[in-house]
Structure 1
Amino acid sequence: MEIQKKYIEIAGKKMAVIDEGSGEPIVFLHGNPTSSYLWRNIAPNFKETNRIIVPDLIGMGDSEKLDGIDNPNYNLMGHYNFLDQLLDKLEIGNNIHFVIHDWGCALGLIYARLNSEKIKSITFMEGIAIPLTWEKWPEVARKIFSLFRTDAGNELVLEKNFFVERLLLTDPITPMSEEDKKEYLRPYLEEGESRRPTLTWPRNIPLDGNEPEETLDVVKANSEFHASSSIPKLFINADPGLLLVGEQREEIRTWKNLEEVTVKGNHFIQEDSSEEITKYLKSFISNL
């Protein structure tokens, strides 16, 4: 991404963010275990017409790690509090467009629910948008994500870097370049707590009540609000997809004021379909 990050102090920690261009702001939010790098082939295409804001969530990418062991601020609302303060310091104003993926989807939907008068549109893909259930997930995913919630998850993620090396780097249909792999691995080269965000996130997924109650309540509130909200929404469906598939996909399709397009990809669809995502997003925003 041929643009520079700047650093803003939030609650005593430095958060990295790309903030370039002018015009109506577009906020691009990543999830687990990625960073602003996820949007490298999409966000720059908008900086001639819009202000692009692309943060690294706290403890991820080039944002500073949190202190201590199993820091509770790596959960959903902890991340949201850092993000909310960051956006406040950036003074992003009104007519905000959110482009959101994975846990970035949940974060963006919280902000849009609590600040709906400031929101012009929401584009989301393969994200935590509605509560999920184990039986609606593929069997392989159920086994892996069940393990993350046990002591074995500590070894898999904190020691073996499983989430990055086995779930992210092998996801794209078109194999990643060595350069891209290196960049995604870079924030998590050190074993242990540096990798904590990538373990706390899957332990927060709202699956059948086996998660922090606060997380489930927030995701339910997001879903109920946005299902009936008049905010224009673009759902970028993934084919074959991984997260928003089956009944989850059908539920999303009932949301009010929703357009839908489809691109190829499993979960990290930006790696396979950046050109298509850019094209659909430009068309959607320009027609509002």
Structure 2
Amino acid sequence: MNTNNKILLFLALSFFAFQNIKAQSVYEGKKTKVEKDISAEFPFESKFIELGTDTVHYVESGEGDPIILLHGLPANAYLWRNIIPNIDDNKKVIALDFLGFGKSSFPKDRNVSVEVQYKMLTDFIEAKQLKNVTLFIQDIGSIVGMLYAIREPQNVKGMALFEAPFMPADVMYDQLPFSFKAFMKLTRTKKGNEKWMVKKNFAGKKLAVNFFTGRKLPKEAYPYYTQPWDEKERRYAITNGPDPAVLSYTKGKGESDFATLLDTISNGMKETRIPILYFYARKGLINRKKAVEYAKENFKNATYVYLGKGKHFLTESHPKQMSQKFNEWFETLK
């Protein structure tokens, strides 16, 4: 090997060693595996509330200060089934389905934008007369939840979040995995989005569910995630909501409604003093290493919990650990 090749090899090895050290500092702590014996049952009574022309499905457990659980895409309240019974001691835990998701109604105009879902949440909180709420939020649920915390901080006791887009658009896009970026390109046009989400019913496939959970679910679990998408019309709830795929046009550096939304959220999250509990995993899906680094640099009042191995639906990987850490954190809130 000549001298130039030796130098290049040395530089390459040094670079990878440096990256490994950085990764270890982000993912420090015990590398826990996916928990065993995760229940697939959903033993909760369905409740419904009429909010204007919409019907919202939710489940409720316990009494005390309210904890609102907001799911992401393409999930529903089932995502929280192993969290609810483990954090409802002296707390009122409420998990709801966003409009168009789970058992909630789908607006006739197909409008399930962030602002529409936000209004549903504020109407729900007002109708239920919920005060001093704590938000436990993920993905789309975190977008709506973070906006509520930014706009109505006087009614928010704390927020626990995971797999949440709290970064500026360029930071978010840059740290996404190649597989997600490739899929964003396929779905970034209206035609492409409709092809994959409506015609091909991507969200209703077992393969998609396993992609988000990061593990193979028991057969009893699949219908809870897939059956809501059996009705073709309801699949438009995915295409007509917030659209991160538009970031792929300019790698997050251009202007779009979604980029503007992320700027609003990232600025608000940098300024808020509301206590934050941030769960993350290796490697996650929309919260990779750079997202964790960004959070640690910018959140002012946060507690960080590294869960171990996980993908997007972290409650499908570490529900017991997440519940325990949430309870410990909740006890520190004023």
TM-score by length of 2: 0.79
Separation in 2 of the partners of 1:206 and 1:252? 23
Cα distance between partner residues in 1 of 2:328 and 2:101 = 31
The 10-residue stretch of structure 1 (197-206 or 6-15) with the greater mean CA deviation from structure 2: 197-206
Q: What runs of 5+ residues in structure 1 fail to find an aligned partner?
A: none
For 2:215, what is the secondary structure of its paired residue? Answer: coil
RMSD of aligned residue pairs (Cα, Å): 1.9
Please say which of residues 141-150 and 202-211 is displaced more in the overlay.
202-211
Equivalent residue of 2:122, what SS? helix
Report the Cα distance in structure 2 between the residues aligned to 1:211 and 1:7, rounded to whole angstroms.
38
Mapped partners of 1:222, 1:135: distance in 2: 17
What does the per-residue CA deviation read over 1:254-282, in whole Å, with 9 as the maximum and x for residues that have no partner? Answer: 21011101112111111111111111111
- The equivalent of 2:302 in structure 1 is 258
C-alpha separation between the residues in 2 aligned to 1:127 and 1:260?
14
Q: Which has the higher contact order (CA 8 A, sep 6+)?
A: 2
CA distance in 2, matches of 1:274, 1:210: 37
- Structure 2 stretches lacking a partner, 5+ long: 1-41
Q: Percent identity?
A: 25
Q: Secondary structure at the match of 1:62?
A: coil
Q: What amino acid maps onto 2:114 in structure 1? A: L
2: CA distance between counterparts of 1:190 and 1:231? Answer: 40
Alpha-carbon separation, structure 1, partners of 2:313 and 2:174: 22
Aligned to 1:277: 322
Q: Is the 8 A contact 2:169 2:259 kept in 1?
A: no
Secondary structure in 1 matching 2:304:
strand
Q: What is the CA–CA distance in structure 2 between the aligned matches of 1:176 and 1:282, rounded to whole Å?
A: 26
Structure index of larger Rg: 2
* Superposition deviation, residue 206 in structure 1: 7.0
Question: Distance in 1 between the 2:296 and 2:71 partners?
Answer: 22
What is the aligned residue count?
282
Instruction: State the secondary structure of the residue aligned to 2:141.
Output: helix
> Structure 2 CA distance, aligned partners of 1:274 and 1:171?
15
SS of corresponding position for 1:171: helix
Aligned residue identity for 2:119: N
The superposition leaves residues 209-250 of structure 1 with CA deviations (integer Å, 9 ceiling, x where unpaired) of: 66752x433332222122122111111011211111132221
Matches within 5 A, 1:150-169: 150=189, 151-165=191-205, 166-169=207-210
Given candidates 151, 157, 161, the residue that maps to 1:114 is: 151
Per-residue CA distance 1:124-182 (angstroms, 9 max, x = gap): 00012223334432222111012112212211110111134243333333310111111
Q: Which amino acid aligns with 1:136?
A: Q
TM-score (norm 1): 0.91
SS in 2 for 1:267: coil
CA contact (8 A) 1:204 1:212 kept: no
Q: How does 1:136-175 map to 2 (within 5 A)?
A: 136-150=175-189, 151-165=191-205, 166-175=207-216
